[in-house]
Amino acid sequence: MSYEDRPLVLALENFHKQQPISFHVPGHKHGILSGLPQAMQQALSYDVTELTGLDDLHQPKEVILQAEKKLSRLYGSGRSFFLVNGSTVGNLAMLYATVGKDDMVLVQRNAHKSVFHALELTGAQAIFLSPQWNEHTKTVGGVARASVKEALMRYPNVKAAVFTYPTYYGVANAELEDIISICHEQGIPVLVDEAHGAHFVVNESFPDSALSLGADVVVQSAHKTLPAMTMASFLHVRSKLVKMERVAHYLHMLQSSSPSYLLMASLDDARQYAESYNEADFAYFLSYRQQLLKELRSIPDMDVLEVDDALKLLIRVEGHTGFALQEVLEQQGIYSELADLFQVLFVLPLVKVGHMGMPADLIKKFRSAVDALHIADRTALPQVLSLPTMPMSSSAYTVDQLREMKAEWLGIEDAEGRVALEAVVPYPPGIPLLCPGERVTEEQVRQLIDLIEAGSRFQGALDIKTNRIKVVIE
């Protein structure tokens, strides 16, 4: 195979062919000293450091710079960066580059927890915007244009706006382009966590990327939908409001000083995969997808929902929670991306011509899983579940104030009106239901109880065994 169009991959391959002798880090010495299984050891021969001819991520001048320039041309950015610490580091860097202590930031409430961590670290004050409920997917979607207008009228000193697009479930906000224009009219940069949209560039049938809609900084998890290794992500800047040098400065501070060349090579490869994806490849993907849809929909009681992003499918079985469905699917060796009260989420492979078809026994496994569900008791589904319709709000206390306040563990049903000390995050998808400093509402109490009873998993200050959360003592 020719690697000419992947400059970093080609440099690593040429270096490997020299059979170099290592008197440098890392200590596994091209895998020779590793006790890992043989297949893993083989990959370690490419796990090198900043050696002659391999460039430096933090001061790229050669093959990494060439690879990032190719990435920038593909996505139409002013500058694009390889990220080796996941989209998390991209979210941190874009906020550090745009806001500081006590600055007000519009934040889509269903943002990833890394956005909230970035706000805590910078000391910025979040103005929470409630997204709209999407009845089709039974999940929260995007923020309405009207909500953004109202927020900017109420808080004229906002310094930045952060949105999630698309949602984890593949729902794209049709009003995002207008929202970006509204923010830009007031000189407010728009930062977008587009973790699940790195593949949008491959075909116009996918939703538009937020970058093409005018966003200033966009972060993408290449590893989620393109063939990159876990933690491998992109960050793109195209802005008159955000200085690229500041973004680069904070990436230099926040990313590892010993970046993985395997991760970077996989980003170079993923970019080439997306760039070379053609109409024949997309037709092949659609054929694969349609066959899967047809077969799944032939299974009694199984409902398959399509969303804006064709890579995402939602699978439901009548009368059962997504958690119960996930369990029986895993017993058949089928692993979904996540489960919630209503469904499991599938992330399909972005196949090309000649790639895999469906395993011959796949539908048989699905049928066996559904049969196992029917034998089991029907699992309780809540009569009503939606994101609480909450007014626009901000934290009751600053980050610094919260650090100094005492706290106590309190039963969830008794927590209404109290202030959460830490986040409570159903995981996946990693979207906080409660944010630090937020006053607990009746609707949030109800939703927490519903999620716990249905078997959700959580991160943060929630003790499921005793149904208690940590609140501040005022």
pLDDT digit string (tens) for the chain, length 474 residues: 667 799 999 999 999 999 999 999 999 999 999 999 999 999 999 999 999 999 999 999 999 999 999 999 999 999 999 999 999 999 999 999 999 999 999 999 888 889 989 999 999 999 999 888 888 998 889 999 999 999 999 999 999 999 999 999 999 999 999 999 999 999 999 999 999 999 999 999 999 999 999 999 999 999 999 999 999 999 999 999 999 999 999 999 999 999 999 999 999 999 999 999 999 999 999 999 999 999 999 999 999 999 999 999 999 998 898 999 999 999 999 999 999 888 999 999 999 999 977 888 999 999 999 999 988 776 666 554 544 455 566 788 887 888 889 999 999 999 999 999 888 887 666 567 888 888 998 888 988 888 887 777 788 889 888 999 999 999
Alpha-carbon span 313 to 292, nearest angstrom: 10
Distances (CA, A) of 471 to 29, 405, 458, 460: 50, 10, 17, 12
**Closest Cα to residue 379, out of 338, 420, 327?**
327
Amino acid at 196: H
Pairing of strands 312-317, 302-306: antiparallel
Question: Quick one: pLDDT at residue 252?
Answer: 97
Alpha-carbon span 228 to 300, nearest angstrom: 36
Alpha-carbon span 139 to 117, nearest angstrom: 23
Question: Quick one: pLDDT at residue 380?
Answer: 60
Token output for 95? 């906020």
> Distance between the two ends of the chain, CA-based, in angstroms?
65
Strands (E), 293-450: 302-306, 312-317, 338-339, 344-347, 393-394, 407-411, 424-426
Question: Quick one: pLDDT at residue 429?
Answer: 65
Question: Quick one: pLDDT at residue 435?
Answer: 82
Query: Which strands, in side-by-side order, build the sheet including 79-83?
Result: 79-83, 233-237, 217-220, 190-193, 158-164, 104-108, 125-129, 393-394
CB 97 within 8 A of CB 250: yes
Token output for 79? 């500058």
Alpha-carbon span 153 to 226, nearest angstrom: 39
Task: Report if pTM > 0.85.
Answer: yes
Alpha-carbon span 7 to 203, nearest angstrom: 24
What structural domains does the chain harbor?
44-100+161-275 (3.40.640.10), 279-375 (3.90.1150.150), 395-472 (3.90.100.10)
Q: Which residue has the tokens 């991520």?
A: 57
